[in-house]
Structure 1
Amino acid sequence: MEWITALMEALGSPGAGLAVALENVFPPVPSEVILPLAGFTATQGRISLVAAILWTTAGSVAGALVLYFLGSWLGLDRTRRLFGKLPFVSESDVDKADAWFDKHGNAAVFLGRMVPVVRSLISIPAGVSGMPIARFTLYTAAGSLVWNSALILAGYFLGENYSVIDRYLGWVSTAVLAALAIAIVWFVVSRLKARRS
């Protein structure tokens, strides 16, 4: 928190954008902390509210593009080979996931930017599936603008109580991680049953 505050004090709104960009690639501090803090900082006149929203959205896009290019570098063929070596996963599973992303990728990227944990990870399958970069950037920017605006404005209006946002969204993050864990367990168990039968 001290580091983020110092970053915004030193660089202003671009500092908030830089923090969000780093959070997208390597999340040491979640956006649920950074964005409300940016809103609270705007109440004190140290940064502009509009500039904070624009810079953090630019930071979100920049961080997402790093992971998009990682997915693009992996590519579909390399991802098939990589996942094909894992237990319980076949190359056809990757093809099915790719086909699903081709059909629902726009909504997945847009809505995924508003879901803790998923918001960073969604960029990788977009790159793997070869989603056009212009479309990816558009839907990432739109989803990020909604998410960032909501949390920055919440921090702005809550003032010194901005930290309650992280407390409540922390439960959402935990629920998302739990859902992912349950999905993985269900997948493994269903594959084990299929092999036995």
Structure 2
Amino acid sequence: MDQIIEFFKHLIDPKWIIAHGGLYLILGIVFAETGLFVGFFLPGDSLLFVAGIYGQELSDHFFNVPFVVIMTMIAVTGVIGNMVGYWFGKKSGPLLFKRKDTFLFKKKHLWQAKEFYDKYGGGAIFISRFLPVVRTFAPIVAGIVNMERKKFMFWNVIGSFCWVFSMMLAGHYLDKAFPNLKEHLEWIIIIIIVITTLPVAIKFIFGKSPIHSHFDEFGNPIEQPPVKEEIKS
């Protein structure tokens, strides 16, 4: 049991991930965080940033392929992850709203992603890429609400490539500009986690969602939102 707990601790340490699992573990984590609801706790943003810093090492250990190929592989994995989440939402959506909370699954995360989707529409798939927790549940919600497949795939591909390339290129070029960056990785990771998770944490803690008044516990509409009457001139 202690070994399992220790392994999960390592899974939120980007430096350990790159040192012990390399590109293969990065691909697995990106897939899990973007396609499986149990992966919401994984360190997507900080992992990609640190992977950009160690981009040359990743390339050297993977057949010396160019760095852009490494980024493309990770971005494609993010696309596939969201596709799995979308499919899972279409097949199992109502059951998720009925499911009881567990250590790895919190229904409030699903409600939060649903509210986020209702607010931003198709663009939510793009925006959610840059928001921890939300990016895990957004494709599932898109499947639940039967978002048009072509529209979903468009935002899925654009969002994944923008997310992966922006994070990894930021780490890559900042490392070139500041050669001592690796010596301060712990602080960098903490700063990235705070910046990316703070808005989501504030919303979870203080935000009041109106979504519950329009959907039952299974995600089915129970009443129509009030329609404002148009003012005739």
TM-score, normalised with respect to structure 1: 0.70
Relative to structure 1, the CA distance from residue 80 to residue 28 in structure 2 (aligned partners, 3 Å threshold; closer, same or farther) is: closer
CA distance in 2, matches of 1:123, 1:180: 19
Q: Which runs of 5+ in 1 are unaligned?
A: 84-93, 191-197
Runs ≥4 residues deviating over 6 A: none
Is 2:81 the counterpart of 1:68? no
Counterpart of 1:144 in structure 2 is 160
Tell me the SS of whatever aligns to 1:66. Answer: helix
Aligned CA RMSD, in angstroms, stands at: 3.3
What is the DSSP-based 3-state SS (H/G/I as helix, E as strand, rest coil) of the residue aligned with 1:181?
A: helix
Q: Which residue of 1 aligns with 2:217?
A: none
Structure 2 unpaired stretches of 5+: 1-14, 100-110, 214-233
The range that moved more, 120-129 or 152-161, is 152-161
Aligned-partner Cα distance in 2 for 1:127–1:51: 30
**CA separation of 1:5/1:63 partners in 2, compared to 1, >3 Å: closer, same or farther?**
farther
Aligned length, in residue pairs: 169
Distance 1:80 1:149 in 2: 32
For residue 51 of structure 1, the aligned residue among 63, 69, 74 is 69
Change (3 A) 1:3 1:104: closer
Report the alpha carbon displacement of residue 65 of structure 1 after superposing the two structures with TM. 1.9
Q: Tell me which residue corresponds to 1:173.
A: 197
Aligned to 2:125: 109
- SS in structure 2 of the partner of residue 131 of structure 1: coil
The CA deviation at 1:145 is 1.0
One-letter amino acid matched to 1:39: G
Q: Distance in 1 between the 2:150 and 2:25 partners?
A: 25
- CA separation in 2, counterparts of 1:152 and 1:179? 27
Task: Give the Cα separation in 1 of the matches to 2:210 and 2:17.
Answer: 40
Deviation per residue, 1:39-87 (Å, 9 max, x gap): 1222345263211221111111122122212211134xx379849xxxx
Q: Flag the 1:181–1:187 CA change in 2: closer, same or farther, 3 A.
A: farther
Return the offset for 1:148.
0.9
Letter in 2 for 1:148: V
Q: CA deviation at 1:135?
A: 2.3
Paired residue type of 1:177: A
The normalised TM-score by structure 2 is: 0.60
Q: Which amino acid aligns with 1:170?
A: I
CA distance in 2, matches of 1:152, 1:21: 16
Mapped contact 2:52–2:172 kept (Cα < 8 A): yes
Of residues 175, 183, 195 in structure 1, which corresponds to 2:207? 183
| Letter aligned with residue 17 of structure 1 | L
1:7 corresponds to which of 10, 14, 21? 21
Residues 41, 133 of structure 2: 8 Å contact kept = no
2:52 corresponds to 1:34? no
